[in-house]
Amino acid sequence: MAQAQAGNKVKVHYTGRLDDNSIFDSSEGNDPLEFIVGQGQVIDGFDQAVLGLETGQSTTVHIEPENAYGERREQLIFVIDRKELPIDIDPQPNQRFQMRNEAGQELVVTVTDVSDNTVTFDGNHPLAGKALTFDIQLVEVT
């Protein structure tokens, strides 16, 4: 049986759960997730969990925020005056936008609050600050 090593292309089926056991993502009913081990294409804890698995083998791994999407950072929450937004944009809570920060980097933000005068955006990943548990089955190693 092939064993997953750094640099291998792998295919895995997975289910991701939060600490309250709610499922936030799963490949069930879809094609397996394909990525190259050790290339940073998935979160670090997921990458590490696949290392050494043999084809057909399964594992469950609990990943703390620092090895997943990081801790929540308050500096990524900001408020903009509605007058600064394009007139054709009507932001709604939970809506996502792509913006550029002052350094010109693209940032995906989520609208967290809308008032008559302001809009609050959060640039944190929705899973930032959360511990994640994944059930992973290695399907293929190439």
Under 8 Å CB-to-CB from 108, ≥6 apart: which residues?
Answer: 96, 97, 98, 123
**Amino acid of residue 116:** D
With CA atoms as reference, report the closest residue to 37 among 27, 26, 50: 50
pLDDT at position 3 over 80:
yes
Nearest to 110 by CA among 118, 98, 101: 98
Distance CA 34, CA 84 (A): 41
DSSP assignment letter at 32: P
- Three-state DSSP at 10 gives strand
Q: Is the pLDDT of residue 103 over 90?
A: no
Query: d(Cα 48, Cα 40) in Å, to the nearest integer?
Result: 10
Domains, the chain: 9-70+127-141 (3.10.50.40), 74-122 (2.40.10.330)
Distance, CA of 2 to chain centre? 28
Mean pLDDT, range 44-65, rounded to an integer: 97
Tokens 């590490």 sit on residue: 48
Look at residue 89 and give its three-state secondary structure: coil
Entry pTM:
0.85
Nearest to 27 by CA among 37, 12, 8: 12
What is the tens place of the pLDDT at every residue in 13-52?
A: 999 999 999 999 999 999 999 999 999 999 999 999 999 9
